[in-house]
Structure 1
Amino acid sequence: MKNQSALSATGDDRTSARAQKAAVRRAQLLQAARKVVFERGLDRTRIADVAAEAGGSQGLAHYHFESKEALLAEMLRVAVDEDIERARQIVEGEGTVAQRLDRLLRLALPIASDDQSWMLWIDMWGSSLRNDDMATAAESLDIAWTELVRTLLQEGVESAVLTCIDPQASADRLMGLVSGLSLRLITSRARFQRTYVLRLVRTAAALELGLEWSDYQRLIQKD
């Protein structure tokens, strides 16, 4: 019985080691896929390019992902999850509702015209017109961000620190504005400035809350 138990334990250890190795390799492929997509775009990315970037063979890539579409869909799912988690940490973090809302809106905007995350989202939105997996990833990103904004607005209303007639509609309008202005910032060749975009978004947030611009500034000034 002792020998059988030892053999069983050894077999379990080997299975666990193989699973860990496979998980590491999948993560490497996903990281490589994101880098290649940044350089080439979703439509022009080949699984051979991803495999080469990861330092492996095309066959190994196909062992872990049945197709290029499956690899890219998983890469986008991971990227979306990471982005949403960063936003959720702000919503659940410290600060007043107004401060957290402003922090969330700042995070939502591109850092600059070469912001890689936003370049990926724009590429994903374009590909979603022809690919159901891309459309699913794009929709999950949009819905999650809007829900996080709505959650903060609702919290402000329920705690009587903010006034918002319809938190869901306000969240939809704010995120629609963020998406449109961010697209222009990323694609602009005329140096559309982030500071200007942020001012527009903050002004819209103040209007949604029925506040004067100076009152909104006062609520967020200590952040």
Structure 2
Amino acid sequence: MARKNAAVRREEILAATVEEIESSGLRTLRVSNVAARLGLSASLVIYHFETKEALVNEAFDFAGRQDIDHARQLAGGTAAPVDGSGDATARAASARGEQSALQQLRDVVGWYLPSGSSRSWKIWIDAWSAGLFDESVKATYAALVSEWKTILVGLMDGAIAAGECSAPEGGVDACATRILAFLDGLAIQVMVNSDAVDPELLTEWVDNFLTRELR
């Protein structure tokens, strides 16, 4: 059987690490459990990543960039919008390639939410906790947030230029920060205190928030 090249093997290990964190959480993560998912030895995993800490940090980055890549497709109109996002007119316009920047923004926001995204919020809640004590994880998270903000800012700039909305208070960068903070707070409530948030109202709350920010 031909040996897999290092890049392919590393990606498989990262995917397995993400699955393990989703399943059991970061506190109980063991390199041996990640290896067992792939039928490998723990020493081979360490060979590729040197330490458990490096493996965890790269796994966070791996998971985050998959979602950012899809968000960029939504922002560029090259991916289907999140199921249920937008009204019928907007979805029809999207199918004709006429989707507005403002609707693309709403699609990206819908993808970010736990109800619309494939991202594991269990992983990101773990990442926030780990980032309090690990500078590498903190830097990785900051870089990913910066990319999310870049996507949102670009869409807001496009919507403003097209006359779809007014410039938000404090500018688009500050608005992008507020949007992400609002979404993160809702996500935590959905994941750890679901009784406080009616999932059916989640989209309505977010839509109202965006409407207030981008009049």
Query: What band does the TM-score fall into relative to the shorter chain?
Result: 0.7 to 0.9
Q: What are the ranges of 5 or more consecutive residues in structure 2 without an aligned counterpart?
A: 78-96
| RMSD across aligned positions (CA) | 2.0
Instruction: Give the superposition deviation at 1:124.
Output: 0.6
Instruction: Give the superposition deviation at 1:102.
Output: 1.2
Match of 2:107 among 91, 103, 106: 103
The one-letter amino acid of 2:138's match is A
Identity within the alignment, %: 29
Is structure 2 residue 142 aligned with structure 1 residue 158? no
Normalising by structure 2, report the TM-score: 0.82
Match of 1:55 among 32, 39, 47: 39
Q: Which residue pairs with 1:192 in the alignment?
A: 197
Instruction: Give the superposition deviation at 1:21.
Output: 2.6
Q: Which residue pairs with 2:50 in the alignment?
A: 66
1:201, 1:189 → 2: CA distance?
A: 16
Instruction: Give the superposition deviation at 1:191.
Output: 6.3
Is structure 2 residue 67 aligned with structure 1 residue 78? no
Deviations 1:6-65 (A, max 9, x none): xxxxxxxxxxx76x5322222221121111111221232111111112211111112111
The number of aligned residues is: 192
Is structure 2 residue 152 aligned with structure 1 residue 168? no
Does the CA-based 8 Å contact 1:124-1:134 persist in structure 2?
yes
Instruction: Give the superposition deviation at 1:189.
Output: 4.2
Instruction: Give the superposition deviation at 1:206.
Output: 0.6
Normalising by structure 1, report the TM-score: 0.79
Runs of 4+ in 1 over 6 A off after TM superposition: none
Structure 1 or 2: more helix by fraction:
1
Does the CA-based 8 Å contact 2:61-2:144 persist in structure 1?
no
2:54, 2:173 → 1: CA distance?
A: 33
Q: Which has the larger radius of gyration?
A: 1
Change (3 A) 1:147 1:195: farther
